[in-house]
Structure 1
Amino acid sequence: MTYKTITAASLAALILGAGGAMADTWRYAFEEAMEEVQGKFAQKFKEEVEANSDHEIQLFPFGTLGESADIMEQAQSGILQFVDQSPGFTGALIPEAQVFFVPYLLPEDQDTLVEFFRTSKAINELFPPLYAEQGLELLTMFPEGEVMMTTTNEVTSPEDLNEVKFRVMTNPLLVGSYQAFGATPTPLPWGEVYGALQTGIIQGQENPAFFIESTKMYEVTDYITRAGHNNFTTAVMANKEFFDGLSDEDKEVVQNAIDAAFDYIVDYQDGLTETSLEKIMEAKPSMTITTLTEEQRAPFKATAEEVEAEYLEIGGDQAQEILDQMKADLEAAAGGSEG
């Protein structure tokens, strides 16, 4: 037996014997670019893990490993150890997570919103078992910013969305939400959206301001509408088999890194929306940004009950429990953020 073979055999034995205690390289993919919100969160997570363990984190931004569906499959199969994906794309796997697309459920007030994500029983207790059933360990959820519509025509009422082909994530409830708003929802992978707007296949899409700015969606649309209907939510998960196999020490390293990244990303987002909108206006002065009045929002808000009822139909066995718990959590967060 050569020296090389002995070394390989010894290494194999060491890896099998040591499990999570050895220095490993962990792979983490997300749905945005490195300098966008998910990328910033991932970089902070990497920094914390590498500062407090011998492990290394490899980051894979959007497009490097395929579309959202691809990275989710890779996370479930164990090719990836960590993945950041919006419930918008996990709706088919975890129907209960579609609750985040009931319009006007999440508050606009940032302090209340952050308090909710920190303390929510629905997020911290009810969702983890549902993710576990899909081979995923839910580590955290966090908000990414107020969702805005970008369209080729002005939108001040649901009538303005009539027959507008509006790109949505592949999520049944988001489809239902935009149908209720009067649009023609058109599910498309993100990589196809810019070209579809450019060629007129679709006439609108929604995202937070930072994402509209960084992906240059303003180049192929003329109006940004702030209807206040939602805040973009995302979830960071680990492959469950991988996570369960970690030592207690490594689990603590991961959770501490997640907590540090959560605090960091909340601070990072302070003022980000307004800065992003300013950059859009500098790049394209002809862009029209409209914040709808309460009167203009009223007909959009009137659809919430219909979408909520649809959620209870398609949202899985625990839909009612999760919706009720989220409402209780939101009420508690509103009280907590005032104190």
Structure 2
Amino acid sequence: MLFPRRSLLAASALAMPTLAQSGDALAQARPTIKIGWTTSDGAQDPYAMAAHYFKEELAKRVGERIDVQLFANRALGDERPLLDGMRLGTVDMGVITNAVIAQVEPAYQINDMPFLFSDAAAAQRVLDGQVGQSLAQRLATKGVVNLGYCEGGFRQMINNTRPIVNPADLRGVKFRVLQSPIYVGMYTALGGTAVPMAWGETFTAVQQGAIDGLEIPLAVIDANKYYEVTKYLSMTNHIYSMIALLMSKRSHDRLAPDLRAAVQEAGTAATARQRTAAATNARALVGSLAQHGMTVNEVADPAAFRRAVMPMYESFRGAIGADIVRDALAAAG
């Protein structure tokens, strides 16, 4: 689905349509919520699923009282401008990668700590509990409401140089990473080369050989056709990719109380649906990507990767918050 490019101003929060006049009666105006995200509008894209499920769940609760409009493929801008727009009230909602949220609220870096979660159930246990509540409260003070911790799946490494079987295989390989000190730190600890880069530039950079590869969830590899420009898929499971369904606090607070409650309920319901669908899709995607020509491998010794990155936990404790690190490690088991 293609959308016209719009300025952030055009995505102004909860823009109220002009009241239409029919005879002597004025039709009731309804608020509009515009949701943006940077990846595709594919049926299996985890960002797209979060947005569509939210729209469906909200409609179940309020009918046509709110007009939800969806904008994929960076139609409202890249992730950091989307997030900044939410803080200012010029963007209503977005589905945003955790590492970008952490640029605004550093405590969110806990979700990107490598090899923290053994599986998706452990990650959801942490995010649905005290740690997730604390993160949401901190983000609210920055002007953004967290409506749900959705699932992008575990991030894997793809590249055109060699399979990543052991940490030593990363040496000399240039990987695009999110613009996050944790992602840069992880590749440094493992002996690779990290190249921070905006998402919109990445496909072309791989295609032209400016970088060798990137790290990315399976669903995003498939939805954005990265199998066309990369050869090796290594199942490193190094970081659990949390993607958040976020809303501008200004947009949220302008709604009537009953509509605010419906938005919160819709966020919770959409998150549950999105997690289930994302997990189902991930199980099928490995075989599909292999059929598209990617060479798939498991890592030989996951513990070797964990040992290499463990010093990061101490170095990031201050930036994240000692209490968040402590509680996340305890809840993750």
TM-score, with length taken from structure 2: 0.86
Q: Matched residue of 1:269: which SS?
A: helix
Whole-Å separation in 1 of the counterparts to 2:151 and 2:59 = 25
Deviation at 1:270, TM superposition (A): 3.3
Asked if residue 304 in structure 1 is aligned to residue 309 in structure 2, the reply is: yes
Asked if residue 280 in structure 1 is aligned to residue 280 in structure 2, the reply is: no
Residue 87 of structure 2 corresponds to 76
Residue 271 of structure 2 corresponds to 262
Deviation at 1:180, TM superposition (A): 0.7
Residue 138 of structure 2 corresponds to 130
1:26 partner letter: I
Shift of the 185–206 alpha-carbon distance from structure 1 to 2, 3 Å rule, reads: same
Residue 144 of structure 1 corresponds to 152
Deviation at 1:322, TM superposition (A): 0.8
Deviation at 1:11, TM superposition (A): 5.3
Residue 195 of structure 2 corresponds to 186
Residue 174 of structure 2 corresponds to 165
- Determine what percentage of the aligned residue pairs are the same residue: 24
CA contact (8 A) 1:120 1:326 kept: no
1:201 partner letter: A
Deviation at 1:205, TM superposition (A): 0.5
Deviation at 1:92, TM superposition (A): 2.0
In structure 1, stretches of 5+ residues that fail to align are 1-7, 13-20, 332-339
Whole-Å separation in 2 of the counterparts to 1:313 and 1:81 = 32
Q: Matched residue of 2:238: which SS?
A: coil
Residue 323 of structure 2 corresponds to 321
From 252, 256, 281, the equivalent of 1:247 is: 256
Residue 23 of structure 1 corresponds to 30
Residue 111 of structure 1 corresponds to 121
Aligned length: 305
Q: Deviations over 1:230-274 (max 9, x none)?
A: 221111221112223333211211011112111211221233123
Shift of the 22–128 alpha-carbon distance from structure 1 to 2, 3 Å rule, reads: farther
Whole-Å separation in 2 of the counterparts to 1:262 and 1:66 = 23
In structure 2, stretches of 5+ residues that fail to align are 1-15, 21-27
Residue 290 of structure 1 corresponds to 297
Deviation at 1:147, TM superposition (A): 1.0
Q: Deviations over 1:259-290 (max 9, x none)?
A: 21112112212331232222222222xx2111
1:80 partner letter: V
Whole-Å separation in 2 of the counterparts to 1:120 and 1:22 = 38
Deviation at 1:45, TM superposition (A): 0.8
Deviation at 1:114, TM superposition (A): 3.4
Residue 67 of structure 2 corresponds to 56
Give RMSD over aligned pairs.
2.1
CA contact (8 A) 2:113 2:313 kept: yes
Deviation at 1:102, TM superposition (A): 1.2
CA contact (8 A) 1:168 1:185 kept: yes
Q: Matched residue of 2:145: which SS?
A: strand
Residue 65 of structure 1 corresponds to 76
Q: Matched residue of 2:74: which SS?
A: coil
Whole-Å separation in 2 of the counterparts to 1:233 and 1:132 = 18
After TM superposition, which residue ranges in structure 1, 4 or more long, deviate above 6 angstroms? none
Whole-Å separation in 1 of the counterparts to 2:121 and 2:107 = 25
CA contact (8 A) 1:85 1:236 kept: yes
Q: Matched residue of 1:92: which SS?
A: helix
Q: Deviations over 1:58-103 (max 9, x none)?
A: 1111321221122112222212211211121122211111111211
1:200 partner letter: G
Residue 200 of structure 1 corresponds to 209
Deviation at 1:179, TM superposition (A): 0.8
Deviation at 1:304, TM superposition (A): 3.1
Whole-Å separation in 1 of the counterparts to 2:148 and 2:219 = 21
From 156, 160, 163, the equivalent of 1:154 is: 163
Q: Deviations over 1:193-239 (max 9, x none)?
A: 11111222111201111111121212222111112222211112211
CA contact (8 A) 2:159 2:214 kept: yes
Shift of the 22–259 alpha-carbon distance from structure 1 to 2, 3 Å rule, reads: farther
Q: Matched residue of 2:259: which SS?
A: helix
Whole-Å separation in 2 of the counterparts to 1:107 and 1:56 = 39
Whole-Å separation in 1 of the counterparts to 2:280 and 2:56 = 24
Whole-Å separation in 1 of the counterparts to 2:79 and 2:256 = 29
TM-score, with length taken from structure 1: 0.84
Residue 4 of structure 1 corresponds to none
Q: Matched residue of 2:237: which SS?
A: coil
Whole-Å separation in 2 of the counterparts to 1:78 and 1:188 = 26
> Which one has the largest radius of gyration?
1
Q: Matched residue of 2:137: which SS?
A: helix
Whole-Å separation in 2 of the counterparts to 1:163 and 1:22 = 58
Q: Deviations over 1:161-207 (max 9, x none)?
A: 11211110011111111111111110011111111112221112011
